[in-house]
Amino acid sequence: MFRAARIAFALALFAGAAGAQQASDTGGGDLAPALVAPILDYDFDAPESLSAPVPYAPEGDPPAALLAGELHELVLEVRLAPEHDPLRDGVMWRVFASRSGEAGELPVVAEAQGGTVTVQLPSGDYLVHAAFGRAGATKRVTVADDDQMESLVLDAGGMKLDSVVGADVPIPPENLTLEVMQEDENGDLVTIVPNAVPGRVLRLSAGTYHVISRYGGVNAVVRADIEVEPGKLTEAVMRHAGAEITLKLVAEAGGEALANTSWTVITQDGNTVHESIGAFPSIILATGDYTAVAAHQDNIYSRDFTVEAGIERDIEVRLADLVRPEPPPAGLAGAAERPMEP
């Protein structure tokens, strides 16, 4: 009975009736299980962990007046956490004047890249900013009449993401999207990294991040809240339960797929999760039970199928699976033909 209701729903779709609500690509609201492992001795200066720095302020030429007079050496170092050694590489340094320029922006008076760096500045007050990947720290510094050293603390760590399906099979990068989000001051989730690269370390400020892993573009989605701790690398493996399937409309089992076929895939609760036109579209679905509905030359065909984790296969809908409209209940057909009595 339930299958008949789903097929009737599909008929309504192709007849132009209102379709079911499209399933959200963010999946269910429950957090998916993830393997999270902090690593305490990770070398954040390793070249493979480099990430583009986030610009802190508009770039500009240093005002000549700020660089007049005797220069003093300012040595700058930065640490992931107070107890850690200074970083040796991968830091973008910017030094700003403490007073805004004509455009209302703080002028950049010095820039440097590396770990511990030395800049030359005249006496005065400055704002020093260190960017390490997507983590940063700012400190107000006063340069007196002598050379000096200043140390900043990033309060940052690293996150390394991977996703697997089935029996721990890595998901090809072309089929995977990893999005990293964090709550803003209003409690809303905002995207920090829209498309993280699997296996690459993200340098992030310490805190809790919400990670969304999408396997394909339909409904195979898992989520996890991941904590980044200062000076530590957290590795998270997102485990998917889904598989890639290929839809085919064939005259007989193993036959050639018929072209110019319109496809709709419906979940058990009646939600449409996929629509396309083609001879053999391939899609990735979360595990579960579905109905494949094919429309070809004014006929509609239907078949139920099940998606199992990590098992790729063809779903063949045969011409023998023709959907025929159900006749009206006995007695109603004749009554519809008889004119109403005055």
Same domain (yes/no): 87, 227: no
Other C-beta atoms within 10 Å of 324: how many? 8
**Is residue 59 over pLDDT 70?**
no
pLDDT value at residue 83: 93
Same domain (yes/no): 132, 253: no
Same domain (yes/no): 164, 248: no
**Is residue 333 over pLDDT 90?**
no
CB 154 within 8 A of CB 79: yes
Residues 6+ apart with CB under 8 A from 158: 42, 44, 49, 201, 202, 203, 204, 228, 232, 233, 234
CATH number at residue 223: 2.60.40
Q: What is the pTM of this model?
A: 0.75
Same domain (yes/no): 70, 149: yes
213 occurs within a structural domain? yes
**Is residue 115 over pLDDT 90?**
yes
Same domain (yes/no): 119, 263: no
143 occurs within a structural domain? yes
**Amino acid occupying residue 123:** S
Last residue of a domain, one of 205, 239, 273: 239
Percentage of the residues of the chain whose pLDDT score is greater than 90: 68
326 occurs within a structural domain? no
pLDDT value at residue 9: 44
Facing residues of 72 across strands? 121
Report how many domains make up the chain: 3
Residue 204, Cα to own-chain centre: how many angstroms? 16
Domain with 312, as residue range(s), is: 2-25+242-321
pLDDT tier, 325 (very low <50, low <70, confident <90, very high otherwise): confident
335 occurs within a structural domain? no
Same domain (yes/no): 101, 141: yes
CATH number at residue 15: 2.60.40.10
Last residue of a domain, one of 239, 257, 292: 239
Same domain (yes/no): 39, 56: no
Last residue of a domain, one of 200, 221, 239: 239
Q: State pLDDT tens for residues 276-302.
A: 999 999 999 999 999 999 999 999 999
Which residue would you say has higher pLDDT here, 105 or 321? 321
Which residue would you say has higher pLDDT here, 14 or 256? 256
Same domain (yes/no): 222, 175: yes
12 occurs within a structural domain? yes
Phi-psi region of 287 (alpha: psi -120 to 50; beta: other; left: phi over 0): beta
Among 39, 49, 81, smallest CA distance to 230 is for: 81
Same domain (yes/no): 232, 253: no
336 occurs within a structural domain? no
pLDDT value at residue 52: 36
pLDDT value at residue 339: 53
pLDDT value at residue 256: 95
Q: State pLDDT tens for residues 116-148.
A: 999 999 999 999 999 999 999 999 999 988 889
pLDDT, average across residues 192-201: 95
Same domain (yes/no): 165, 118: no
CB 88 within 8 A of CB 115: yes
- Per mean pLDDT, which range of 74-78, 89-93, 145-149 is the poorest? 145-149
338 occurs within a structural domain? no
Measured CA to CA in angstroms, residue 280 lies from 246, 299, 303 at distances of 6, 17, 15
pLDDT, average across residues 29-52: 45
328 occurs within a structural domain? no
Other C-beta atoms within 10 Å of 285: how many? 22
pLDDT value at residue 34: 39
**Is residue 188 over pLDDT 50?**
yes
Residues 6+ apart with CB under 8 A from 38: 229, 232, 233, 234
pLDDT value at residue 37: 44
Same domain (yes/no): 149, 55: yes
Beta strand 71-79 with 148-153 is parallel
Same domain (yes/no): 82, 223: no
